[in-house]
Structure formats: structure tokens, C-alpha cells
Amino acid sequence: MATDRFSGSGRRLLLGLVSAAAIGTAALPAAAQRAQPCIGASWELTGPLAHTGMTIRIAVETALDEINAAGGVLGQPLRLIAYDDVGEPARAVDNARRIGERDNCIVMMGGFRTPNAIALRDPLAEMELPWMGVISAGTGVIEHPNNANKWMFRVSMKDRWVAPFLVEAAKARSRSGKIALVFEGTAWGQGAVPDVERAMAAANTPLAGKETFNIADQDMSAQMIRLRDAGVDTIIFYGVDREATNMLRSMDRLGYKPTIISAWGIGVQFARTAGPLAEGVLVAGTYTWMGDLPPRAAGVLQRIQAKFPQIASAADIPLPSGTANAYDATYIIAEAIKLAGRFDRDAFRQALFRVNYEGIVANYAPAFEPRQERHDAILPASYKLFAFHNGAMLPVEQTPFRQAAR
């Protein structure tokens, strides 16, 4: 269902409540309708993953305020219609049907979880509804079987490209050369395994261990004992804040202190949940709002803080890369609509291949290309390594952990 709830804040109306005109066209096939000037979204707005929906929403609403203050798109304000999926794939599919068939939005924006995105592949194709991901990094979200992806795009990281980045960082920091993979037992974690294995093979380094865990697992001592006894000194990690914290607590009880290099499921709040144990943990990403910012990004942060009082500082942005990705994605959407010249989904989809836009995360030139591998806008050259230091997630170059092992 649509929601105006926002974790950690008072009740605020979401931009772009469903219009009567959009409802009135619901009886017509979505592909036959003139699309409406709205971005439909399925995000994790309530429940344990509500912080992920927040990290996207603050960016999209801020970008839309800027775009609409400058005249909107094709003379119309671009609206947001957001639905809550609580992180559940079935709800994400239901929300996509509402967005594509009832609201008739020009594009749908996805949320945090890779399983939700993968569940949308067939429904989006059936509705011919473009989709823009901004966080979920699973390779299969964009690279579909039989090269079949036509409608899904992403302004985020991709695990097939992330894996070599993590492996390179792990090799540079491992003194023994014994590197292990620890991953959550979800479509995201399991999907990353072949990507990491291929990257390790390309680096001529066998994995010294491979361990998995379930969502909400509290004790990972058994897995950590096996890795410790195998001599592993560096761990590549695929998981999120809660389980990362529980893993570090298990390590702490064992006196085991390997280097942790994580995919970007870990966010800023990890420093709060893990406390001092977070110190020195490395994480891949595309952006952080902490540390030294260029003037444009500093201005965006100020506008986010003015619009959302609960963001008292950059430390209150839970998933910094996701916020930056979503901000850039909103502008890419607006630019594609302008290039299309009308609110038509297929014209919009084709225009995405002609968008050139200099964003906060990257210079998108072009944002996308027709081959499905390049339905990902952020290339590996824009990937960055961050480190937790004194409770902040900073560019590794601004921390004591910038040096690799010697």
C-alpha cells in the first residue's frame, strides 16, 4: 500500500500522491496509455529495512525539488509516488503492477534488495515499464538469461564488477595470501559467489575458505573458528549491518581479527551497531557524504538537511552511496524524458542511451548503452574504497587504513 510513513520522523506526505487522471486510465492497457509525469517507487519504507528506503527518498525528493524549481520536465512537474514493500519480493511485484497499470508512471525506481529486483524482471517486461535501480547490486538484476533485458537499468554497483574490485583490495592487504569469502544465504549473497570465485581465479589465488550465514544469525563462531584455523587473515564479506556486527562480535569473542573488506551492504549505521569493532573495516561504494566534499555535493547535503531535519549531519545518511546514486538517477531520468520529448515509455527507454550527464558519482557519457551489460551506468572506474574510522565512514585515503600490506 502507499505510505506516508518515514522511519525516525514525523508524518510527512510523499510527493506525488496518485492523481485522479492516473486512476481514470487504469482500465486501459498500460502500453497503450500516454505515460504520466511520475516516478513510481517500491522501497523499504517500514520495518527493519526502513533506513534503506529513507536513504533513497531523501535524495529523490531533493533532486525533484531542484528539477521542478527549474521548470520541471517538458513543462510539467515530475512527481514521486512511493509504495512500501517492506523488503518483500511479492510486495514489490504488487507495487510494480500499481505503478505500471494504475498510476501509469513513466518509470519505476527500485529499492535496496536484490531479490525484489530479480522478482520484477518478468512483470516489468510484460508491462513495458522502465525500471531504475539505485542500490541492489546483484549481477542478475541487469544481466538476464538469454540476454533478454530490455527494460531494467541501474545507477549503482554490479557484483560482477564489484568482485574484482574487492579481490584486488583483499590481495593488497593480505599478508598471508589466505583470503576467504563470507556471504549471506540470499539471492544477493549466493549470486555473488560465482563472481568472487571467477575474480579469485583470474587473480591466481584460491579461496582459503567459504562460509555462509542466514539472515538474523547472531552467532557465527563456528564459521569464524574454521576460517581462523585455516589461517585466513582477510575476509571478503557480502552482508548487511546487522549480520556484519554479529560476525565481528563472534570474532571478538575468539580473539580473531582478520581484515574485513565488504561489499556495500554495510552502511553508516554499522558504526553505531558495531561500535569500536567497526574500526578499520573496509567497504566498497560509490560515494560518502563524510569528509571533504566538493562544492556541489556540499550544497546538495545542505538542501537534504534543510528538507529532512532528521538528517542533522552526514552521519545520519544510512547508505551514502545509495543516496548519491539516487540523486544522480533522478537527474538521468529527467534528462531522458527531455530527450524523448514526450511522456512515452519506449521513447524514454531509448533516450536513456543518449543521456550525457555529469553527476555527483560519475560523469555519465553516455549513461547507458543498448547492450544489457551496459544497462549499468556506474563503471568500475568510479568504485571507491571506504574505511570506518572513529565512527565515520570515510574515503580510505583520509584514514590510517589507506596503506596496503607490505
pLDDT tens digits, one per residue of 352-377: 999 999 999 999 999 999 999 999 99
Task: Kindly state whether residues 171 and 145 are assigned to the same domain.
Answer: no
Rounded to an integer, what distance in angstroms lies between the CA atom of residue 316 and that of residue 310?
8
Q: What is the pLDDT of residues 73-131, one digit of tens each?
A: 999 999 999 999 999 999 999 999 999 999 999 999 999 999 999 999 999 999 999 99
The verdict on 49 and 130 lying in the same domain is yes
Q: Are residues 40 and 126 in the same domain?
A: yes
Tell me: do 42 and 152 sit in the same domain. yes
Q: Is residue 98 part of a domain?
A: yes
Q: Cβ–Cβ contacts within 10 Å for residue 354, how many? A: 13
- The answer on pLDDT for 267 being more than 90 is no
pLDDT (average), residues 229-234: 98
pLDDT tops 60 at residue 238: yes
Residue 105 pLDDT: 98
In a shared domain, residues 63 and 85:
yes
**What is the mean pLDDT of the segment spanning 223-232?**
98
In which band, very low, low, confident or very high, does the pLDDT at 381 lie, cut at 50, 70 and 90?
A: very high
Q: Which residues contact 325 (CB under 8 A, 6 or more apart)?
A: 59, 134, 135, 155, 156, 286, 287, 361, 378
pLDDT of the residue at 30: 41
Select the more confidently predicted residue: 220 or 265.
220
Residues 253 and 313 in one domain: no
Secondary structure of 61-128 in HEC code, one letter for each residue:
HHHHHHHHHCCCECCECCEEEEEECCCCHHHHHHHHHHHHHHHCEEEEECCCCHHHHHHCHHHHHHHC
| Least confident span in 117-131, 186-200, 226-240 | 186-200
Residue 265's pLDDT is what? 85
Judge if 195 and 114 occupy the same domain: no
150 shares its domain with 36: yes
User: Do 207 and 245 sit in the same domain of this protein?
Assistant: yes
Number of domains in the chain: 2
Task: Give the per-residue pLDDT at 332.
Answer: 98
The answer to whether residue 259 scores a pLDDT higher than 80 is: yes
Is residue 264 a contact partner of residue 283, using CB atoms and an 8 Å limit? yes
Specify whether the CB–CB gap between 137 and 362 falls below 8 A. Answer: no
Q: What is the pTM of this model?
A: 0.86
If you average pLDDT over residues 241-251, what whole number do you get? 96
Q: Quick check: is 270 in a domain?
A: no
Q: Is the pLDDT of residue 6 over 60?
A: no
Are 241 and 266 spatial neighbours (Cβ–Cβ below 8 Å)? yes
Reported confidence tier of residue 32, pLDDT bands at 50, 70, 90: very low
List the domain range (segments joined by +) for residue 109: 31-157+294-379
Element (H, E) at 212: strand 209-213
Q: Considering 245, 263, 281, which residue would you say is the last residue of a domain? A: 263
Based on the domain organization, do 259 and 220 belong to the same domain? yes
pLDDT > 80? residue 31: no
The whole-number average pLDDT for the span 1-16 is 38
Q: Which CATH number characterizes residue 185's domain?
A: 3.40.50.2300
**Do 148 and 167 belong together in one domain?**
no
Q: Mean pLDDT across the stretch 313-335? A: 95
For residue 317, tell me if it sits in a domain. yes
The pLDDT value given to residue 404: 63
Reply yes or no on whether the pLDDT at 194 is more than 80. yes
205, 260, 221: which is closest to 237 by C-alpha?
260
- Mean residue pLDDT of the chain comes to 90
Residue 226 is predicted with a pLDDT of: 98
Q: Does residue 254 share a domain with residue 307?
A: no
Closest alpha carbon to 334 in 32, 28, 37: 37
